[in-house]
Amino acid sequence: MKKLLLSLLLATTVFVAGAQNGESKHDYVEGHVFEFINKDSISPLPGVNVFYAGTSQGTITNKEGFFKLDHDQNFKQLVFSFIGFKSDTLEIDHDNEINIILSDGKILDEFEVVFRQGNYSFSKFNPRDAHIITTGELRKAACCNLAESFETNPSIDASFTDAVTGTKQIQMLGLSGKYVQILSGNIPTVRGLSVIYGLDQIPGAWINGIAVSKGAGSVLNGYESMVGQINLDLKQPGNAEKFHLNIYGNQAGRMEGNTYFNTKVGEKWETTFLGHVKNQQVKNDRNKDGFLDNPLTDNYIFRNQWNYRSKKIHMELGANYVHSNGISGSLSLHDSLTPSISEGEYKVELNTDKISGFTKIGYLFPNDDFKSLALQLSGLHNNQTALFGIKEYIGKQTSGYANIIFQQKIRMHKHKEDEHDQQDVKEANNASENYYKMGVSLQYDNIQESLMSYEPLFLMNIDATLEEIIPGTYVEFTHSSEKIGLITGLRADYSSIYGGFITPRLHLRYNITNETVLKLMAGSGRRTPMLIMENVGLLASSRNWLLHPNRQNNTNEKNPFGLEQEISWNLGGAFLQEFELLYRQGSFHADFYHTFFQNQLIVDLDQTAREVHFYNLDGISLSNSLQLELNYELLKRFGIRLAYRYLDVYKTYSGQLREKPLLSKHRGFVNLAYETKNKKDKQWKFDITTQWIGSQRIPFTLDNRPDLVLQGRSDDYYLMNAQITRVFGKRLEVYLGVENLLNYTQQDPILSSEDPYGEFFESSLIWAPVFGRMFYGGLRFTVGDVEHH
């Protein structure tokens, strides 16, 4: 989000302000409508119907959210209705410009919301423990894709799946990213076979904002948010500038280009085209282990979205295509040739071809401002192949999703049917708001996974199809007032594999004072494990894969791998305190989460270094997470963020309770950001992030060759990233940065790298960066501006 520095003090009477001005009468009514993004940012909302209550006399807001109506003395109420949401009414009692903020179609006038500049914030009014990362924050790091976008965010950490492919995986509350539901425009995405590589396939430059919330999310989006939810807002009609180009290059030889452009087609249609190219042809082997440090890649991603707005219908149509190819492994490889296995050449190749599409349609009932209906549809086909030495993986996924959401606002004061009962409208606006959403959804997944190894002793040669059809229904009730917020939801689903189940969720917010907020939440979540894909990094080793060894627990007959559905419960609390100290703003945030699994797919690396065991949880699996965060503006335009996180994650591995491996219990985080004074849109920006990553447990390696036995725990280390950005004006900025400034790397990340087909080969035990200090640079060129008038 291009920062929109609107400082609005919204009191109950929105336009009883500017009393300094004379009372001259306009012959028209004009103003702007904004959309509430979060407490720090709003954006102009085009396509809002503005009309006099009880008439058809009205207009639609333009791209800047601006509207102008002839003033009519006979009508005292203006209705603001935005397709897909309920509408709201304002009384016209003044001739000033009307500037309102809509949130889910509702005029935010019961809060005394003060919008201040900022690009990272905790939400004070959302009962969920959410915070928003905007473009300003994302640009603090070069963040080439979604997996790399969380560098300046202490809630989410990135880890590597293996030392060969360089794939980054996210973790939240100490649990892997597969338990975080990822949405794009509120539609679930990055599911199934995309669980690992899907994050790399969302270019950072396309991201307008990310809403990260910890704990179970809304039942509207299904039951899959087990530890958190990440909702992406990609560049699209309404938030995209006319044209944007981002060029990036780094010391390792990776080149990227990102672009999008946005245009209006006719009166009602608007479209955005997005493109991404990534290419790396330079071979690096800094640690001299004979393996490429970064894969040679060749990626193309395209996206196109069309939005349509009319008085009754708001529609979005979009399609996304991903082609990704990455080759890594032995340095001596020639891409076109097959590796010479007899000479110990090891080749890793990953290929993705994914096509997906979605539709969102919102319909507003013409005669009832309190109702709305929305339909979400999406579908995808994904072809994912992977080659690790002489192990070959082929995955195919076809999925479809439909969700119909009906929303009804509950009128609290049921007077006699008097259409012009102004008292009713006013009270509903001022006191509290209650509404419910209900709907039905259908998820279809057909996932085919096959794994073939030419190693004679490899046990898991499997070709299985997992087909799951899940119809579901849900209801969610929201109560919101200045002091208290409540969202409670319940959904019932029936899986063709796992049968019927109920998913409850609860979120509570209590604003103790204007600056102090307490939140509590609880809920359950579930997901179907994707055995091979979500552990694909373990294929980059000589480990044998064993499913349910020693007849461990009962296996599910309907799941081709005999795996049960993963079920978790999550309880949490968050505390937010905003303060002003020495005339500078700051905030303190603390949260605690307890997650426990009723069932989980256990990946057991601790029985022997020769094998990995997969089985259903038999015992305890839990995570306790505590995070403390302090944000403060130390000096003018110089902000500091301090964070500390404690993670206590345990699982039962073959009857023994052990700490989750390759996860640091303690993590500290310091971010310093300084901006020079903005002189005619010219500015310097400096950003530096230092992280302290505590010691991590390393899985069992005692039965390795003596020189390949690792110590039980890793050393702690520091990771430092820094970036300088020069803003040359509204159009051009250039950035230069460095990752891993302290040049800390893991010694010998690949065990037995000289013999990749031998029994000790292992590249999946990664706890620190493989590649050392790396410089990068790039530029951003933008034409046109969405937010400004």
Residues that bind another protein (CB under 8 A): 4-11, 14, 17-18, 20-22, 97, 99, 114, 116-117, 582-584, 634-637, 640, 642, 668, 670, 677-678, 692, 787-789
Angle among Cα 381, 386, 390 to the nearest 5 degrees reads: 150
* Minimum CB–partner distance for residue 152 and another protein (Å): 16
CB of 650 to another protein, least distance (A): 26
Closest to another protein by CB, 368 vs 580, is: 580
**Nearest alpha-carbon partner for 572 in 598, 590, 587, 554:** 590
Nearer to another protein (CB atom), residue 253 or residue 784: 784
For residue 471, the minimal CB distance to another protein (Å) is 46
Residue keyed to tokens 């969610």? 476
Instruction: Supply the minimum distance, in Å, between the C-beta of residue 322 and another protein.
Output: 37
Q: 671: which 2 tokens?
A: 């971010």
For residues 319 and 266, what is the distance between their CA atoms, to the nearest angstrom?
21
Largest CA distance in the chain: 91
Nearer to another protein, 461 or 678 (CB): 678
Compute the least distance from the CB of residue 676 to another protein, in Å: 10
Q: CB of 220: closest distance to another protein in angstroms? A: 32
Q: Cα(584)–Cα(782) distance, rounded to whole angstroms?
A: 32
Residues 6+ apart with CB under 8 A from 331: 283, 285, 290, 291, 292
d(CA 538, CA 531): 11
Alpha-carbon separation of residue 722 from 145, 160, 686, 688 (angstroms) = 18, 21, 8, 4
Is 716:692 a contact under the CB 8 Å cutoff? yes
Task: For residue 748, give every residue at least 6 positions away whose Cβ sits within 8 Å of its Cβ, in sequence order, or none.
Answer: 287, 289
**Strand arrangement of the beta sheet that strand 544-547 belongs to:** 544-547, 611-616, 601-604
Q: Tell me whether strands 207-214 and 129-134 are parallel, antiparallel or unpaired.
A: antiparallel
Q: Which is nearer to another protein, 116 or 415 (CB)?
A: 116
Cβ proximity to another protein, 564 vs 578, nearer residue: 578
Q: Based on CB atoms, which residue is closest to another protein, 416 or 583?
A: 583
* Separation between Cα atoms, residue 86 and residue 771, nearest integer Å: 52
Shortest Å, Cβ 101 to another protein = 11
* Shortest separation between residue 160's beta carbon and another protein, angstroms: 25
SS (H, E, C) 76-121: CEEEEECCCCCEEEEECCCCCCEEEEEECCEECCCCCCECCCCCEE
- Smallest gap, in angstroms, from Cβ of residue 208 to another protein? 18
Nearer to another protein, 18 or 456 (CB): 18
Q: Which is nearer to another protein, 67 or 474 (CB)?
A: 67
Shorter beta-carbon distance to another protein: residue 9 or 657? 9
The rounded Cα 439 to chain-centroid distance in angstroms is 24
Contact indicator for 685, 731 with CB cutoff of 8 Å: no
> Per residue in 467-499, is it b (16+ CB within 10 Å) or e — as a string?
ebebebebbbebbbbeeebbbbbebebebebbe
Cβ closest to another protein, residue 4 vs residue 212? 4
Q: Collapse the DSSP code of 222 into the 3-class scheme (helix H, G, I; strand E, B; otherwise coil) and give the result.
A: coil
Nearer to another protein, 28 or 494 (CB): 28
State the nearest-atom distance from the C-beta of 632 to another protein, in Å.
8
If the CB atoms of residues 705 and 788 are measured against another protein, the closer one turns out to be 788
Q: Which residue has the tokens 């230069």?
A: 736
The contacts of residue 361 (CB under 8 Å, 6+ apart) are: 313, 314, 315, 316, 374, 375
| Contact status, residue 184 vs residue 243, Cβ threshold 8 Å | no
Residue of 9, 178, 95 lying closest to 600 (CA atoms): 178
- CA dist 87 to 8, 366, 497, Å? 21, 10, 41
Rank residues 264 and 636 by Cβ distance to another protein and give the closer one.
636
Alpha-carbon distance 692 to 669, whole Å?
Answer: 6
Cα within 13 Å of Cα(351), Cβ side: 11
Q: Which residues of 631-645 are buried (b: 16+ CB within 10 A; e: fewer)?
A: bbbeeeeebbbbbbb
Q: Would you call 324 helix, strand, or coil by DSSP?
A: strand
C-beta of 569 vs 644, nearer to another protein: 644
Q: Could you tell me the smallest distance in angstroms from the CB atom of residue 565 to another protein?
A: 41
| Residue pair 447/193 in contact by the 8 Å Cβ criterion | yes
* Cα 539 to Cα 533: distance, rounded to the nearest angstrom: 10
Closer residue to another protein (CB): 15 or 160: 15
**Residue type present at position 206:** W
Closest to another protein by CB, 71 or 286: 71
Task: For strands 683-693 and 638-653, give the pairing.
Answer: unpaired
Q: How far is the CB of 430 from another protein (least distance, A)?
A: 17
**Closer residue to another protein, CB minimum distance, 114 or 502:** 114
Beta carbon nearer to another protein, 18 or 500: 18
Question: Is 265 within 8 Å of 245 (Cβ atoms)?
Answer: no
State in angstroms the smallest separation of the CB of 727 from another protein. 13
Residue pair 775/736 in contact (Cβ under 8 Å)? The answer is yes
Instruction: Indicate if the alpha-carbon torsion angle 634, 636, 638, 642 is positive or negative.
Output: positive
Taking the complex as a whole, the smallest distance from the CB of residue 509 to another protein amounts, in Å, to: 25
CB of 5 to another protein, least distance (A): 5
